[in-house]
């Protein structure tokens, strides 16, 4: 299109068409505007260049996995369970399966023959020493006692008469009235009556003893079992079956065995006069039943098993232990005093070395080598490498590496609660 002429009284002027400018008019116009505002146009151009560069850089970085994963890994924290190290005492035990044994067991038997006229105990009752248990018909032994006492009275009277006769014979012999033979015969009669009196006294004592035996009493204190005879039964001293069984359960004993290699540590403590505590636990080793002390060690080692038997005694005031019950016996042999304690699951063992993940103040972890002094159950005593108050990872270590960021959840059984018994 061409410029249209505009009529005017003065002259005809051509206006440029904006849709088809003349050659060179656009550049000249831009240059003219730039000259009027040079700083504004320069800033706009620089801002456009910077924005374009950033868009290109971001687009290129979005396709780089390493660049993308780095911020993501830095933001993600590994969830772990941790516990704080502390100072405390660590008890070391020898644990073995044991069997509860009655301290004394007595089978009650009759020492005389006769018919049972009374049973004075209740099955399962706790009896004391000297309590009446069973009474046997005493009348036969009362008759024997009366008979022995009558014989004693008779022989005493005979002895008195013989002694008086002996005195007269001695006087007559000095007067040469009787022969020496008559005097000797009378002296012999006195000796016979004296012997009869001793025998009679023995018969009386035996009859009294039979009367005592007809009342069967408890020889020890303890719990009596089920009765084996009833009233009316006739028993004999030669019967093999007993009448009842008493087991002494206060105190009560526990027998258990330990390896012979551990014997020197036990004997050394006993020689020093220390009283070694023994704890009795249930089958699952979770519930403590009773606390006692080591009583003695057997006098020989079982060669077939390489173990030695030990006997512990328990007061058993609450009757928590029962004869022939299986328990886990824990013998305290050593105590690490004022040691640095951490949970045993925190310790990682590789190629003969021990290490733990320590949580730093910035919630990152550091793998640190430690020296384990001793361990017992869920606790370990650390000789070096950890200071009290430091946090160690107990669960989730398989997801960690040095420098990893963690989110901490304190263990429910933190070491602040002390050693687990």
What are 79-88's pLDDT values in tens digits? 988 999 999 9
Residue 306's Cα: distance from chain center in Å?
24
Count of CB atoms situated within 10 Å of the CB of 175: 7
Identify the pLDDT of residue 376.
83
Distance (Å, rounded) from C-alpha 329 to C-alpha 408?
A: 37
Identify the pLDDT of residue 335.
86
Identify the pLDDT of residue 397.
84
Distance (Å, rounded) from C-alpha 249 to C-alpha 221?
A: 9
Q: If you write DSSP's letter for every residue of 11-35 in order, what string do you get? A: --EEPPPTTSPPTTHHHHHHHHHHH
Report the DSSP pairing between strands 78-84 and 406-410. parallel
Residues of the chain with pLDDT under 70: 1-50, 52-75, 411-421
Distance (Å, rounded) from C-alpha 43 to C-alpha 33?
A: 14
Query: CA angle, corner 193, sides to 191 and 196, nearest 5?
Result: 115
**According to DSSP H, which parts of 262-320 are helical?**
263-271
- Cβ 301 vs Cβ 307: under 8 Å: yes
- Cβ 352 vs Cβ 344: under 8 Å: no
Beta strands in 317-395 (DSSP E): 326-343, 348-350, 353-359, 365-376, 379-384, 391-395
- What are the φ/ψ torsions at residue 387 (nearest 5 degrees)? -110, 150
**Which stretch of DSSP H or E encloses residue 215?**
strand 215-217
Identify the pLDDT of residue 215.
95
Identify the pLDDT of residue 45.
67
Domains and CATH numbers, the chain: 1-46 (no CATH), 79-88+338-417 (2.40.420.20), 94-102+245-335 (2.40.30.170), 112-235 (1.10.287.470)
- Cβ 253 vs Cβ 101: under 8 Å: yes
Enumerate residues 6+ apart whose C-beta is below 8 A from 294. 266, 270, 275, 276, 277, 278, 310, 311, 312, 331
Identify the pLDDT of residue 270.
84
Distance (Å, rounded) from C-alpha 347 to C-alpha 341?
A: 12
| CB-based burial label for 340 (10 Å; 0-12, 13-18, 19+) | buried
Residues counted in the chain: 421
**pLDDT tens digits, 215-246:** 999 999 999 998 888 999 999 999 988 999 99
Distance (Å, rounded) from C-alpha 329 to C-alpha 22?
A: 111
List of long-range contacts for 57-66, beta carbons under 8 Å, 24+ apart: none
- What are the φ/ψ torsions at residue 187 (nearest 5 degrees)? -65, -35
| CB-based burial label for 243 (10 Å; 0-12, 13-18, 19+) | buried
Model pTM?
0.62
For helices 139-174 and 180-213, the axis angle rounded to 10 degrees is 160
Count of CB atoms situated within 10 Å of the CB of 273: 6
């Amino acid at each position: 299109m061409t410029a249209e002429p505009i009529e005017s009284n003065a002259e005809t002027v051509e206006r440029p068409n904006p849709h088809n400018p003349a050659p060179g008019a656009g550049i000249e116009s831009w240059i003219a505007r730039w000259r009027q505002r040079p700083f504004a146009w320069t800033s706009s151009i620089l801002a456009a260049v910077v924005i374009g560069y950033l868009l290109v850089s971001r687009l290129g970085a979005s396709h780089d996995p390493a660049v993308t994963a780095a911020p993501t890994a830095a933001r993600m924290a590994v969830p772990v369970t941790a516990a704080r190290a502390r100072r405390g005492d660590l008890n070391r035990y020898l644990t073995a399966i044991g069997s509860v044994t009655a301290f004394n067991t007595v089978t009650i038997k009759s020492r005389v023959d006769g018919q049972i006229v009374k049973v004075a105990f209740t099955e399962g009752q706790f009896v004391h020493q000297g309590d009446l248990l069973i009474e046997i018909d005493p009348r036969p032994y009362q008759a024997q006692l009366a008979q022995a006492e009558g014989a004693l009275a008779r022989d005493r009277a005979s002895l008195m008469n013989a002694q008086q006769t002996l005195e007269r014979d001695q006087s007559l012999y000095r007067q040469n009235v009787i022969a020496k033979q008559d005097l000797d015969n009378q002296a012999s009669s006195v000796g016979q009556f004296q012997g009869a009196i001793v025998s009679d006294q023995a018969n009386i004592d035996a009859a009294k003893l039979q009367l005592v035996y007809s009342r069967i009493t408890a020889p020890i204190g303890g719990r009596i079992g089920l009765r084996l005879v009833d009233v009316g039964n006739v028993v004999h001293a030669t019967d093999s079956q007993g009448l009842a069984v008493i087991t002494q359960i206060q105190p009560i004993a526990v027998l258990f065995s330990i390896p012979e290699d551990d014997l020197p540590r036990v004997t050394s403590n006993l020689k020093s006069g220390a009283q070694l505590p023994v704890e009795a636990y249930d089958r699952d080793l979770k519930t403590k039943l009773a606390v006692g002390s080591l009583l003695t060690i057997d006098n020989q080692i079982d060669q077939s098993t390489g173990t030695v038997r030990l006997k512990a005694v328990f007061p058993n005031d609450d009757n928590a232990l029962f004869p022939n019950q299986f328990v886990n016996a824990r013998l305290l042999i050593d105590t690490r005093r004022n040691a640095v304690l951490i949970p045993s699951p925190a310790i990682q063992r590789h190629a003969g070395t021990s290490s733990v993940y320590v949580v730093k103040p910035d919630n990152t972890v550091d793998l640190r080598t430690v020296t384990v002094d001793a361990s017992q159950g869920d606790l370990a005593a650390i000789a070096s490498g950890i200071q009290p108050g430091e946090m160690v990872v107990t669960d989730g270590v398989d997801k960690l590496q040095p420098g990893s960021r963690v989110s901490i959840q304190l263990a429910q059984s933190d070491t602040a609660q002390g050693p687990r018994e």
